[in-house]
Structure 1
Amino acid sequence: MKTSLRLPLAALAGLLFLTGCPDKKPVETSETSASAPPKLTKAPVFNADSAYAFTAKQVAFGPRVPNSKAHVACGDWLVAKLKGYGLKVMQQPFEAMTFDGTYIHARNIIAQYQPQAARRVAIFGHWDTRPFADNDKQKKNAPMDGASDGASAVAVALEMARVLSQQPDSLAPNVGVDFIFFDAEDWGHDATTQADVKDQLAGSGTDSWCLGSQYWAKHLLPANYKAEYGVLLDMVGAKGGTFTREATSRERARGPLDKIWNTASQLGYSDFFRFEDTDAITDDHVYTNQAGIPTLDIYHYNNSGDFFPAYHHATTDNMSIIDRKTLKAVGQTVLQTLYVE
Structure 2
Amino acid sequence: MPMLPKHRPAGWTTLAAAALTGLLLSAGALAAAESSAPGAAAPAAVPSPSPSANRWWAAFEEPELDRLVQRTAATSPAAARSTPAVHNPQATLPPSAQVVLAFIGMRAYGARAALAADLADTLAQERSALAASAPTRDTGALLEEITRRQQATAAIGQHYLAQRERYAELLAQLTEAPGGQAHASLRLALTEPRLPQFHARVPARLPMALLLGRADVRLAQLEAAQWQRLSGDGAGAREAAQLLSGWITPMAPAWPAGQPTAEQPPSPLAATLTSAAEDVAQRLQLLQAAERRCAALAATVHAGELELQAARERSAAGTAGDIAVAERTARLLAEVDALVAVRTELAVAWVGLQLSLGGA
Q: Same fold per TM (> 0.5)?
A: no
TM-score between the two structures when normalised by the length of structure 1: 0.26
Name the structure where helix makes up a greater proportion of residues.
2
TM-score between the two structures when normalised by the length of structure 2: 0.25
Name the structure where strand makes up a greater proportion of residues.
1
Larger Rg: 2
